[in-house]
Amino acid sequence: MEILRAFRPGSDVLGNGELAERTGLSRSTVSRLTQTLVDTGFLEYDAALRAYRLGAPVLSLAHAMHTGSAILQVAAPLMRELAQAQHLNVGLAMADRDEMVYLESIRYSRKVSLRTVVTGQRVPMALTSLGRAWLATAPAAERQALMAVFARRFPSGWSALEREILAAVRQVQRYGWCVASWQPEVVAMSTPLRLGHHPVHVLNVSLSTKASVSEATRELEPHLMRLAGEIGEVFRASVGE
């Protein structure tokens, strides 16, 4: 699994040396495991490059997860309806270690954004409203462990970043949402979804704007919280709660 995790956008092919460096596994272990992954089809070996690329079964697993998500089946149509009606970007994500992974991303921005977010894309937990909303729901010990990871990853600006994260956690605890603007002229607002026995999902809306964060917050908040309420209501009805 660590070997498969080593492949990211921009990493089309990786050799045993690169895989060992990214995973922290020994070269001998990597060599043995990559052969197993090739035999099962999860990796393809490129003899000319002496490196590996992901195989088609990896995508089939992602598709099975995506289509099998009960929450996503409920949320996606409602997300699309809001995105189209209000020309907003709407996303749904889950946590994976110190990152957030988009399960769905519907882009209807009012103007072209410099950055396009797609389903399956990872974004940093520490910097985004998605990640900070999830941190507000995490057990204290897990949140503290992640904060230590962030401190090592962002040493130069950690003091300011720590204050932003803790302020966002307080926002979620007080209002049910938090807001972040970690890209120029893009404001995002997120709220955690706690539905049944499922892991916490995080819903967000964002827009490209020259307005202040406070102005954008006033515009986004009713749309986000209404959508979260609708998703929760429809989901509970679908499972008979």
pLDDT along the chain (241 residues), means of 10: 93 95 97 98 97 96 94 97 94 97 86 64 96 97 98 96 98 97 87 96 94 94 98 93 70
Q: How far apart are CA 156 and CA 125, in angstroms?
A: 17
**Region for 120 from its dihedrals, namely left if φ exceeds 0, alpha if ψ lies in -120 to 50, beta otherwise:** left
Q: How far apart are CA 124 and CA 153, in angstroms?
A: 11
Q: How far apart are CA 153 and CA 162, in angstroms?
A: 12
The residue with tokens 């103007």 is 111
pLDDT at 10: 85
Q: Report how far Cα 186 is from the mean position of its chain's Cα atoms.
A: 17
pLDDT at 113: 46
Name the phi and psi angles at 231, rounded to 5.
Answer: -60, -45
Alpha carbon distance, N-terminus to C-terminus of the chain: 36
pLDDT at 116: 63
Q: How far apart are CA 18 and CA 51, in angstroms?
A: 9
Given a contact cutoff of 8 angstroms between Cβ atoms, the answer to whether 73 and 104 are in contact is: no
Given a contact cutoff of 8 angstroms between Cβ atoms, the answer to whether 129 and 191 are in contact is: no
Note every long-range contact of 211-218, with CB atoms under 8 Å and residues 24 or more positions apart, other chains counting.
Answer: 211/187, 213/179, 213/181, 213/187, 216/179, 216/181, 216/187, 216/189, 217/179, 217/187, 217/189
Name the phi and psi angles at 110, rounded to 5.
Answer: -75, -20
Task: Count CA within 13 A, CB hemisphere, residue 201.
Answer: 24
